[in-house]
Structures are given as C-alpha cells and as structure tokens.
Amino acid sequence: MIYLIGGPPKCGKTTLAKELSKSFEIPWASTDALENVIKPYMSELDISKQFPVSYQRCKDNDEKYTKYSSNEIIEAYRQQARTVYRAIDMFAICEITDGNNFIIEGYHIEPELVDELNEKYPNKVKSIFLVKLDREKFIFDIRESTTPNDWIVARTKKEETYQKIADMICEYGHIIEKESKKYSFNVIKMDNNFSKKIYLAINYLIPD
C-alpha cells in the first residue's frame, strides 16, 4: 500500500509521516526530495516556469509577502505540485510493483493526483489531507514552534507578514478541503488537539 499525505505547508504532514513510519516500520519520503531529483535535468528556463516557488523566494518573507499576493503564492505552490506529479507516480508504481508499503508526504500531493493514482492502481493507494483553517491559531502555533530553522520564524520580522502567511496557508487549506470533498477524500483540520489529530490520521490510514 502507498500512503499519501497531502496538504499545504506547516500542517503536520512530516510529523504524521514520521509517526506512521515509526509505528508501523514503513519507510517514508518527502516530495521535496523528488522535486530536487528532477531539477538538475531541466533547463534554467524550464525550472523558472515549472518551479516558481523558488523564484518567489526573495531575501525574506517580509519582502516576498509584500511583492506577491496569497493567490500568486498558492498558484506557485500548485504549479510546482503539478510539475512533480509524474515523479510521484513513478515512485509509487515502483514500490507497488515491488510489493512494498511506502509513505509519501508533501504539498505536491493534491486531490487531483490522488484521484489519478486511485484509478491507475486500484486498492493500492490510501490518502489523507491535513489542513489548517484558523488564522489566529496558526500564528500562535508558529510563535511557539520548536522546529529547528523554521522557515517562517527564521525569515520573518514584521508582524503583518505573519498574518499574510497565515492567510495564505488557510486559503490554501480551503482549496484543498474543497477539492478533497469533490473526490471524497478524508481531510483532517489540524488547528487544535494536534497530537490527537495525528493519532486519528494514523488510525484512518492503518486501522487497528
């Protein structure tokens, strides 16, 4: 079985993948790694078109979230996700062919992709999407973050930028939630009781 964990950044995907991997001794990989495998085989022009998140980086989040709107940033993430679709597909079919269980997590995993994989590999794929929709809770949690080199805390100085980042993550979450409902995929809102929600997600993916 291939276990797919999708959703916007900073919603608990990596935490869930690590806990699932540890509990059931299943290897896991991040789609960020697949993205980095693809890039060296593309021209600089193709990279700028297919991986726009990299070109929106700026010197810090304050500059980025002044220069780009939430919609532009979300679309950049989603374009980057579409670019990595085929790599996820190939990775999944290799593990399915070898009879392996494997966990793949990352924002590149979107409902549309999971629907395609379900059709191609019936009963071989199970998915879940994690979102955060509470802006104020998101900001509070980020300030309490103990993640080393957290990309939000390390690259943000202005108070208003935290609000803009929270707006983007929550708007992105609403999109993923809407599209997940379209395909009848399970979505867990991670704003509160984070540890309990991780447990619920594990139980959904691999029931006791």
Count of the separate structural domains present in the chain: 1
Angle at which helix 111-120 crosses helix 159-182, to 10 degrees, equals 30
> What's the rounded Cα separation, in Å, for the pair 146 and 164?
21
Mean of pLDDT over the chain:
93
pLDDT of 70 over the 70 cut: yes
Q: Give the model confidence (pLDDT) of 115-151 as tens digits.
A: 999 999 999 999 999 999 999 999 998 887 767 678 8
**Helix/strand/coil percentages in the chain, nearest 5:** 60, 10, 30
Domain limits for position 56: 2-205
pTM score: 0.94
Helix or strand or coil: residue 102?
strand
pLDDT of 208 over the 70 cut: no
Nearest-5° Cα angle at 96, 13 to 3: 20
Single-letter amino acid, residue 104:
I
The answer to whether the Cα torsion of 58, 63, 66, 71 is positive or negative is: positive
Q: Give the model confidence (pLDDT) of 32-61 as tens digits.
A: 999 888 887 777 767 778 888 888 888 999
CATH number, domain with residue 189: 3.40.50.300
pLDDT of 17 over the 90 cut: yes
